[in-house]
Amino acid sequence: MSQLKNIFYAQSGGVTAVINSSACGVIETARSERGRIGKVYAGRNGIIGALTEDLIDTSLETKKSIAALRHTPAGAFGSCRYKLKSLDENRAEYERLIDVFRAHNIGYFFYNGGGDSADTCLKVSQLSKTTGYPIQAIHIPKTVDNDLPITDNCPGFGSVAKYIAVSTKEASFDVASMAKTSTKIFIIEVMGRHAGWIAAAGGMASSNADIPIIILFPEIEFHRGRFMEAVQRKVNKYGYCSIVVSEGVRGADGKFLSDQGLRDAFGHAQLGGAAPVIASMVKQDLDLKYHWAVADYLQRSARHIASKTDVEQAYAVGRAAVQLALQGKNSVMPAICRISNRPYRWKIIEATLARVANREKMMPRTFISRDGFGITARCRDYLEPLIRGEDYPPYRNGLPRYERLKNMPVKKKLKRAFKLS
């Protein structure tokens, strides 16, 4: 058994409602290949767990606990926002990774994250060549932003999209009832720094109901006058209007409508508050009564309304990572390939990591209506299968039963502690 190489698995960046479904796919598949692969060690808080030799021994968790990851949101082992520098800039970090991998007989590096994590994974995949230590690095896609290239969609996105579509539909029914004497404008702010995929999902609320929705995409420059005209037209026709605004919307000056001035570890502006900005503009320009909501973490953690497609695909990319590892692959990512729309069919393909890292996939202009405020039929065709199906978690006494693992540490073997830069 000791010759069998172990897997290091880590969750990275913002967590999702289904990232643990990928973890479940990795661990269950690795367990089913017991004769060919060793244990799955998870990094406590992502890559930091590797650097600090803080590994979690998932083999100590019961079969039932691992199965429950499939319906548990957020990151069961902890995630982090920590980007490795280039090899030239911080060689010590890479040397440390190799030390930890060697000490724990780790031959596979599975990194479950978005674009920044794909870049980290790519760098690790090159360690084999530069250091001679045999490591296969496989990236497992995850991002609510849906902005990874090559893969048709990203696990994590479908569930956020479903949450936003359902919530926008429900709130629109609400404001429609109130519009006669009270609220006429409802504004919901959604995530999506640069790509408008999540905002687009708000447009799905009108798929089988005639609901007036205006979407503000980060891909479309915000023009106050044109926006107000569009809102007023909807109000004239329907008596009310719902507005889905992406946190990443910018004006002609290139600035975010609302920038709190904070930045995360990757240097991205931390946003929040576009909804109240839009609300106050609507009040000033149209004098209509409004309500606004900011969904924030609620949208990406809402496992209670996860998309079944999303849960299945998240599991499938986790399982595929183990299969690719067993095939001896390095520097790859299992990606989702759409075979057909009706019926919706998909398969897992292998993507070269170098073609994934550091590229953002924006909404194609053909997915956005000509006026810039809605989605097209093509966009609906794309989104619809991704939000399809319900996959409810089990409940006890009114609350979902989400799993908390034991997360027992692997005994440290290195004498030296590592100081994070």
Residues 280 to 319: which contact a copy of itself by CB under 8 A?
Answer: 289, 291-298, 300-305, 307
18 to 43, 126, 251, 307, 353: CA distances (angstroms):
18, 29, 33, 9, 22
Q: Which is nearer to a copy of itself, 65 or 301 (CB)?
A: 301
Which among 99, 119, 145, 391 is annotated as catalytic?
145
Q: Which is nearer to a copy of itself, 371 or 390 (CB)?
A: 390
Under rule CB under 8 A, which residues in 208-237 are in contact with a copy of itself? 208-209
Under rule CB under 8 A, which residues in 366-405 are in contact with a copy of itself? 384, 386-390, 392, 395-402, 404
Q: Which is nearer to a copy of itself, 265 or 408 (CB)?
A: 265
Task: Determine if 139 is a binding residue for a copy of itself (CB under 8 A).
Answer: no
Q: Which is nearer to a copy of itself, 14 or 334 (CB)?
A: 14
State in angstroms the smallest separation of the CB of 311 from a copy of itself: 13
State in angstroms the smallest separation of the CB of 409 from a copy of itself: 15
Q: Is 234 exposed, middle or buried (0-12, 13-18, 19+ CB in 10 A)?
A: buried
DSSP-assigned states of every residue in 126-170: THHHHH----EEEEEE--TT---SSSSS-TTHHHHHHHHHHHHHH
Q: Which is nearer to a copy of itself, 78 or 372 (CB)?
A: 78
Under rule CB under 8 A, which residues in 232-291 are in contact with a copy of itself? 262, 264-265, 272-273, 275-276, 289, 291
State in angstroms the smallest separation of the CB of 110 from a copy of itself: 17
State in angstroms the smallest separation of the CB of 5 from a copy of itself: 27
State in angstroms the smallest separation of the CB of 75 from a copy of itself: 3
Q: Which is nearer to a copy of itself, 91 or 283 (CB)?
A: 283
User: To which residue do tokens 């519009």 refer?
Assistant: 179
Considering only 42, 50, 66, 74, the residue that binds a copy of itself (CB under 8 A) is 74
CA atoms within 13 A on the CB side of 269: 18
Interatomic CA distance for residues 39 and 27, integer angstroms: 9
Q: Which is nearer to a copy of itself, 182 or 358 (CB)?
A: 182
Residue type, 80: C
Under rule CB under 8 A, which residues in 144-203 are in contact with a copy of itself? 162, 165-167, 169-171, 173-183, 186, 188
Residue type, 365: R
Q: Degrees (nearest 5) of the Cα angle 109, 160, 193?
A: 75
Active site residue 145: yes
Q: What is the length of the chain?
A: 421
Beta bridge partners, 390, equal 307
# of chain residues touching a copy of itself (CB under 8 A): 81
Interatomic CA distance for residues 277 and 223, integer angstroms: 14
State in angstroms the smallest separation of the CB of 2 from a copy of itself: 31
State in angstroms the smallest separation of the CB of 300 from a copy of itself: 7
Query: Residue 41, SS3?
Result: strand
Under rule CB under 8 A, which residues in 27-46 are in contact with a copy of itself? 45-46
Q: Which is nearer to a copy of itself, 32 or 177 (CB)?
A: 177
The helix (H) or strand (E) run that includes residue 338 is strand 332-340
DSSP-assigned states of every residue in 216-241: E-TTS-B-HHHHHHHHHHHHHHHS-E
Stretch of residues binding a copy of itself (CB under 8 A), selected from 11-19, 58-66, 214-222, 365-373: 11-19
Q: Which tokens is 47 given?
A: 């890559």
Ordered alpha helix ranges (H), 336-396: 377-383
Interatomic CA distance for residues 104 and 8, integer angstroms: 9
State in angstroms the smallest separation of the CB of 247 from a copy of itself: 11
CA atoms within 13 A on the CB side of 22: 36
- Give catalytic residues, as residue numbers: 145
